Structure formats: C-alpha cells, structure tokens
Amino acid sequence: MRHQSLLEYANYRYFKVATLVIALAIGVYVWDKPPGGPNGGTWVGYGLGSVGALLILWLLWFGIRKRRYSGTVPLLGWLSAHVYLGVTLIVIATLHAAFQVGLNVHTLAYLLMLFVIFSGFYGVYVYLQVPRQLTDNLGDETRSSLLLKISDLDKQARELALGLPDEINQAVMKAAQDTRIGGSWRRQLAGTDPRCATAAAVRKLEALGKTLRGEDASTNQRLYTLLLRKQEHLAAVRRDVAYKARLDLWLYFHVPASVALLAALIAHVVSVFFYW
C-alpha cells in the first residue's frame, strides 16, 4: 500500500468534511439578516460560537488522544481531522466575530486561535518535509550507532596519540572531552558548531603534522584520518539534532498557545454571559 500523508488520509475524507463545514458556516452567515447587523450576540452568532468552542475543545483533545494507543480511528486519521477541522475554525470564528476586533479578551482569544492554527500549518509543513530529510541524512545509520562510532573513534584516536608529542595528544584528548553535540536552541537548530573541539583538533593536526618525521608522521596521518571520520559523523548527528529540533520547535508554540487559548476561551465565554 502506498504511504498516505495526513493530508490525503482516507481519500481526503476530512478535507471534504471541512469544506462542507466552511460552506455551511458561510451560507448561514450570509442567509441571516439580523437586526443591527451580524455580531457574536445574534442567534447565528451564538450558534457559530458554540460550534467553534466545541471544535476547540475537540482539537485540544487530540493532545490527549495522541498519547493513547487504542481507538477505532487510527492516529493518522485523527491528525488528518485535527488539521482540516482546525482550518475551518478560521472561518467559523471570524464569522462568529462578524469581522469585529478590538482591544479585548475576545480578540485575544481570536488571535491566540489564529496563532495556534498558523503554527499548526507550519507543523504540517514540517511533518511533511523533515522526516525525509531525517532519513536522507542518516541513511542506514541511527543516531546512537553514530554516537557509538564517534566514541570508538575517540578511543582509537586516544590510543594512537599516546605515542605522539604532548601537543597532539592534548588536542586529541580535548577533541574527545570537549566535543559537544547540540546545546542551546540556537545551536541545535543551526546544526553546526563553530567552536567544535574536533574541528579544532583537525586543524591542529594539519599544522603540527608537518613537523613530524618517520613513524610519528605516519601515526599522525592515521590519527588525522580518524578525526576526519569523526568530524563527518559529528556533522551527521548535528544535522539530525537540527531536524529533530525543527520537528519539535513549532510544538513549543502550538501547545502552550492552545492551552492559553483554552483559558482565553473560558474567559471569553464567561465574560460574555457574566455581562450579558
């Protein structure tokens, strides 16, 4: 069976559902001619608002559903519905508000909702793009197999360096001890490390190697090759970390903003009826 993306799930079932929902919402909004013009307080306004609020609760439920491994609809189906029905909220909420905005908690909820939805769009983009990049980057390796190889290379390099001058030995030891992968958000997302200790050791070996003669020179040559391989592996792991970080990053906005949206939604609904 061909791999199905979350957008194509079940022959675009939820795309069709979302299109229908949007068409219905627009139809009802256009059909209704409430006295004083459309706003959130007309019956159509209340209706769209209720549908929107229930939809938000259902979309939030995905955060719980995805942690469960049972259910009749597979998680991919839930995700597909989550994405498409999330899009309908833009229309439903905008029509509920009747295009009215202001400096208030109601518009705060609206803006948070838009932020959650658009961060979700980025999430969909990332989920469709990054996994391929992840696989292309690692090939047959895994992150831990690469880390194992790196530590093996470190061990070999240290042993080789034991017989070489102190400066080279120290550079090799520093390369083993001070090499960091990832780090801060910026470093993880960048996927490179300009202060990489291994890269520094490689540069040092290039310079010092010229002063060596005889067996030391050939040992140094072998050592240099080892460090270059380690550098390649490091680059691959760092790219892997960067891709993983990109996969995760948008959730740091999407998830907290959606929980904040829940709070704003509660405040919005309570305030509207508190001061009816």
Q: Which residues between 86 and 145 bind other proteins (CB under 8 A)?
A: 100, 102-106, 108, 143
The yes or no reply on residue 214 touching other proteins (CB under 8 A) is no
For the CA atoms of 101, 107, 110, 114, the dihedral, rounded to the nearest 10 degrees, stands at 80
Q: Which residues between 1 and 20 bind other proteins (CB under 8 A)?
A: none
The yes or no reply on residue 158 touching other proteins (CB under 8 A) is yes
Backbone angles phi, psi at 123, to 5 degrees: -60, -45
Q: Which is nearer to other proteins, 76 or 173 (CB)?
A: 173
The yes or no reply on residue 273 touching other proteins (CB under 8 A) is yes
Write down the least CB distance from residue 214 to other proteins, Å.
14
- Which span sits near other proteins by CB under 8 A: 19-27, 48-56, 76-84, 254-262? 254-262
Binding mask 20-59 for other proteins (x = CB under 8 A): -------------x-xxx-xxx------------------
The yes or no reply on residue 183 touching other proteins (CB under 8 A) is yes
Cβ–Cβ under 8 Å, residues 44 and 25? no
* Distance of alpha carbon 276 from alpha carbon 274, whole angstroms: 6
Cα-trace Rg, the chain: 28
The yes or no reply on residue 267 touching other proteins (CB under 8 A) is yes
* Distance of alpha carbon 48 from alpha carbon 36, whole angstroms: 18
Q: Which of 23, 54, 217, 263 binds other proteins (CB under 8 A)?
A: 263
Write down the least CB distance from residue 17 to other proteins, Å.
28
The yes or no reply on residue 227 touching other proteins (CB under 8 A) is no
CA 248-82-241 angle, to 5 degrees, is: 10
The yes or no reply on residue 252 touching other proteins (CB under 8 A) is yes
Q: Which of 173, 208, 212, 228 binds other proteins (CB under 8 A)?
A: 173
For the CA atoms of 87, 93, 96, 101, the dihedral, rounded to the nearest 10 degrees, stands at -140
Token match 């070996």: residue?
205
Token match 């999430």: residue?
123
CA 127-185-182 angle, to 5 degrees, is: 90
Backbone angles phi, psi at 102, to 5 degrees: -165, 180
Q: Which is nearer to other proteins, 21 or 60 (CB)?
A: 60
Write down the least CB distance from residue 145 to other proteins, Å.
11
